[in-house]
């Protein structure tokens, strides 16, 4: 059974927003929280103390130290890790770490958690499409989160504006799969 084009476009639109404005706002939050040199020191401390012993940590080390990474090189998973582990942003209470994060908690940590969980949800999403009603609900949740994070760091509305442009532009059916596939890309 062929999936309706609109529903595939809905999923691609959400994917495009997650890999674009959502990643961008977390990069801006990280930039607001810590300098790159302090970030490198914090990461080095975690590595030296044995908190990070995986291949993933080795690859992040190479990214940060060997390739001179900048904030724009970090994906959502890495941004989340840095914000929670190095910037000491409080982790959302364990009982509320299930998706969706409580809508009444509008704290910085809850908004970071919302983006991280949205990324994880759609990274492993199996349906291949998104009904209009679900799309609108998810869109509102993401937009509100991005808006609050922009307000928190005192920035302009660039990420909100980009989201509006994405929503109002037509998706090219030939490239929709590219945005969906980008959700699965991580530093390996």
Q: Where are the domains of the chain?
A: 9-32+75-182
Give mean pLDDT in consecutive 10-residue pieces for the chain, a chain of 188 residues. Answer: 71 92 96 91 82 69 72 87 87 58 82 92 82 95 97 95 91 73 63
Instruction: Quote the pLDDT of residue 1.
Output: 41
Q: Give the predicted TM-score (pTM) of the model.
A: 0.86
In angstroms, how far is the first alpha carbon of the chain from the final one? 34
For residue 110, give the nearest of 96, 122, 123 by alpha carbon: 96
Distance of alpha carbon 173 from alpha carbon 60, whole angstroms: 34
The two tokens of residue 44 are 């080095």
Instruction: Quote the pLDDT of residue 7.
Output: 87
Instruction: Quote the pLDDT of residue 98.
Output: 52
């Amino acid at each position: 059974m062929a999936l309706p084009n609109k529903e595939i476009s809905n999923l691609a639109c959400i994917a495009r927003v997650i890999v674009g404005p959502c990643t961008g706002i977390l990069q801006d939050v990280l930039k607001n929280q810590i300098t790159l040199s302090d970030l490198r020191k914090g990461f080095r401390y975690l590595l030296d103390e044995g908190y990070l012993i995986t291949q993933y940590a080795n690859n992040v080390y190479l990214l940060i130290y060997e390739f001179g990474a900048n904030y724009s090189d970090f994906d959502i998973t890495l941004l989340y890790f840095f914000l929670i582990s190095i910037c000491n942003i409080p982790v959302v209470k364990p009982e509320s770490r299930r998706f969706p994060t409580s809508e009444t908690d509008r704290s910085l940590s809850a908004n970071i958690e919302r983006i991280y969980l949205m990324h994880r949800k759609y990274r492993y999403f199996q349906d291949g499409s998104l009904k209009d009603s679900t799309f609108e609900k998810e869109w509102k949740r993401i937009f509100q989160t991005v808006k609050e994070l922009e307000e928190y760091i005192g920035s302009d509305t660039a990420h909100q504006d980009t989201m509006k442009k994405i929503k109002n532009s037509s998706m090219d059916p030939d490239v929709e799969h590219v945005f969906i596939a980008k959700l699965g890309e991580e530093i390996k």
